[in-house]
Amino acid sequence: MRDPGGGVFIFGHEITIAVEFVFWVYDSYILGNFELNRPAQSEMYLRALRTLPGGTDSNFRAWGEDTVYIDRGRGSHIWDLDGNEYIDLRMGYGPVILGHADDRVDDYVGERMRRGVSFSLTSEDEVLAMELLCELNGWPKKARMTVSGTEATMHAMRVARAVTGRTKIVKFEGQYHGVHDYALVSVTPNPNQMAGLGPAENPVALAWGRGIPEAVTRTMIPARYNALDVLRRIFEREGNDIAAIIIEPVLGNAQGIMPQPGFHETIRALTREFGALLIFDEVKTGFRFGRGGAAEYFGITPDLATYAKAMGNGYPAAAFAGTEEAMSVLPDNVSHGGTYAGNRVAAAATVKTLSILRDTDALEVIRKTGEQIQAGLSEVIGRRGLPHVFTGHPSMFGIIFAEKAPTEYRQWADTDHELYDAVAVGMRDRGAMPEPDSREPWFVCEAHAKGNDVDQIVTIFAESLDAALENRVHNGIKI
Ligand code: PMP
């Protein structure tokens, strides 16, 4: 029909709009391709790009056009600059164990920081913080604060080298210990760089990114998680030069892959046999797997350990700790310091957070909430006839669409993460935010137990899974 006024096909116009609407509904609700409204963030991205490389302060947050700019958080919910609300499942990569903007911690920190923040002198808050850290973990006798997990692992490695008078340190492929040079060996995030890891039986040290001196990488020996034969060969070959094994008790950087029975016990025995120290990097697992972290959970006593994340509920608190003997090289024989080490904000946050974890049932609540989420997800996935396994601990877990979990990084890199990645991205668009990269586990905090978070997470997951599966069918990809 002609528009009597302007000669436009009104009918045609309406049909076009109707067709577009149908496509939009199909694309959005069936294929799950609807996009969030994010004009403020797009603008901020362009602005930030002019000053911050990648538009952020960390490579891990540089998600291109999807880079998230945050406004605020409260409990388990966060709001971006455009006002989109999400249930947070990243929790800042793990530190926010109680919930965002927790009044108990913030009020205490606020009160203490008004007495001054940085003196480069020692406050009671620091002493109390490290007393609590030793008390909750049980085994360490001495501890010192640092500002980041990176610093903590750097100092723990130096202490181990000083104690033993040896240079080399064994680390496991795929494990992340921060961004200092020694830590950035054989982390290898990209599946297309797998060849650089060397033969499975004899892995080679591969620096992650440029700028790491080769002399540094040569002091690191990569091993494979859960591959005890490789580890023993390394010790038989170079045992006299090995100062320590540093290990994240679970493969936190690959969905929290768990140790096989006997793995940690054998490592403990092997280090003792060859006079090397055992460093547990508990930056992710500490005060999360239990009050005594992974050491308590697995029943292993290391010589040194590093902590950060959950100890300060998101404030920049970190520490390294150890047995009396291992830490005896401080203060006289090993350099450690830092203008901000033990600063009031971090120390007060640690005191309050660790007191809450010690005196309340927060960790039990978190574990139970994680189990409830897992039960809901299992039902959803099971109903769709897909295989799945959870890795890690209910407070920090990965979801793998397979019959069996991989046992180490190389195997993990070979598995199909595309379905998971699509689900994670779809969840963000629907109001829950797990990390879009399947390496990172989901993190549960105490506040997730409140309201109807669990049900909402499961519903959002189900919708997103359906959309991802539909997309696969649509694109002819095998499920
Ligand atoms: N070790 C482990 C196990 C970690 O997960 C991380 C951070 N993701 C670090 C060390 C480094 O901590 P930070 O980011 O505070 O430097």
Model confidence pLDDT, tens digit, residues 450-468 = 999 999 999 999 999 999 9
Please name the fold of domain 70-100+361-474. Answer: Aspartate Aminotransferase, domain 1 (3.90.1150)
Residue 170 belongs to what H/E stretch?
strand 168-172
Other C-beta atoms closer than 10 Å to the C-beta of 417 total 19
Transcribe 248-315 into DSSP letters: -SSBTTTTTBPPPTTHHHHHHHHHHHTT-EEEEE-TTTTTTSSTTHHHHHHT---SEEEE-GGGGTTS
Q: Is the peptide bond before 331 cis (omega within 30 degrees of 0)?
A: yes
Confidence of residue 474 (pLDDT cuts 50, 70, 90): confident
456: Cβ–Cβ under 8 A, 6 or more apart, which residues?
Answer: 87, 431, 432
Is 59 in a helix, a strand, or coil?
helix
Predicted confidence (pLDDT) at residue 15 exceeds the cutoff of 70: no
Instruction: From the CA of 151, give the closest atom in ligand 1.
Output: 16
**Which one-letter DSSP state was computed for residue 333?**
T
* Test site for ligand 1: of 61, 148, 177, 184, most ligand atoms within 8 A of the Cβ: 177
**So what's the pLDDT on residue 5?**
36
What's the order of all strands across the beta sheet hosting 85-88? 70-74, 77-80, 85-88, 432-433
Please state, for a pLDDT cut of 90, what percent of the chain lies above it: 86
Half-sphere exposure of 243 (CA within 13 A, CB side): 20
For residue 89, pLDDT beyond 90: yes
Residues of the chain with CATH 3.40.640.10: 103-359
Task: Report which residue type is found at 105.
Answer: V
Residue type, 75: G
For 95, 372, 382, 435, the CA distances from 395, given in Å and listed in that order, are 12, 11, 21, 15
Whole-angstrom distance, CA of residue 13 vs CA of residue 1: 10
- The mean pLDDT of 260-271, rounded to a whole number, is 98
pTM for this model (two decimals): 0.93
Percentage of the chain exceeding pLDDT 70:
92
d(CA 88, CA 84): 12
pLDDT at 255 over 70: yes
Task: Name the token pair of 174.
Answer: 């795929």
Mean pLDDT of 162-174: 97
Confidence grade of residue 413 (pLDDT, cut at 50, 70, 90): confident
Q: 19 CA distance to ligand 1 centroid (A)?
A: 50
Q: Please give the helix or strand (H or E) that residue 77 lies within, else none.
A: strand 77-80
Query: Lowest-confidence range among 102-116, 246-260, 316-330?
Result: 246-260
- For ligand 1, the distance from its centroid to the CA atom of residue 10, given in whole angstroms, is 60
Distance from Cα 73 to the centre of ligand 1, integer Å: 22
Residue owning the nearest CA to atom 1 of ligand 1? 177
Of 45, 69, 86, 176, the active-site residue reads: 176
Residue 416 pLDDT: 78
Is residue 340 annotated as part of the catalytic site, yes or no?
Answer: no
From the list 88, 125, 281, 453, the catalytic residue is 281
Question: Class of the 103-359 domain?
Answer: alpha beta
CA of 383 relative to ligand 1 center, distance in Å: 37
pLDDT of residue 3 exceeding 70: no
Contacts 24+ apart (CB under 8 A), 411-415: 412/174, 412/251, 412/254, 412/255, 412/257, 413/174, 413/191, 413/194, 413/254, 414/191
Of the residues 171, 284, 309, 352, only one is catalytic, namely: 309
Q: For CATH 3.90.1150.10, list the domain ranges present in the chain.
A: 70-100+361-474
Q: How far, in Å, is the centroid of ligand 1 from the Cα of 254?
A: 13
Neighbouring residues of 189: CB distance < 8 A, sequence distance ≥ 6: 208, 439
Strand 396-400 and strand 318-322: the pairing is unpaired
Average pLDDT over residues 396-401: 95
Protein residues whose CB sits closer than 6 Å to any atom of ligand 1 = 93, 148-150, 153, 176-178, 248, 252, 281, 283-284, 308, 318
309 is known as an active-site residue: yes
Strand 85-88 to 220-223 pairing? unpaired
Count the neighbouring beta carbons within 10 Å of the beta carbon of residue 440.
23
Q: Is 450 a catalytic residue?
A: no
Closest atom of ligand 1 to 309 CA is 15
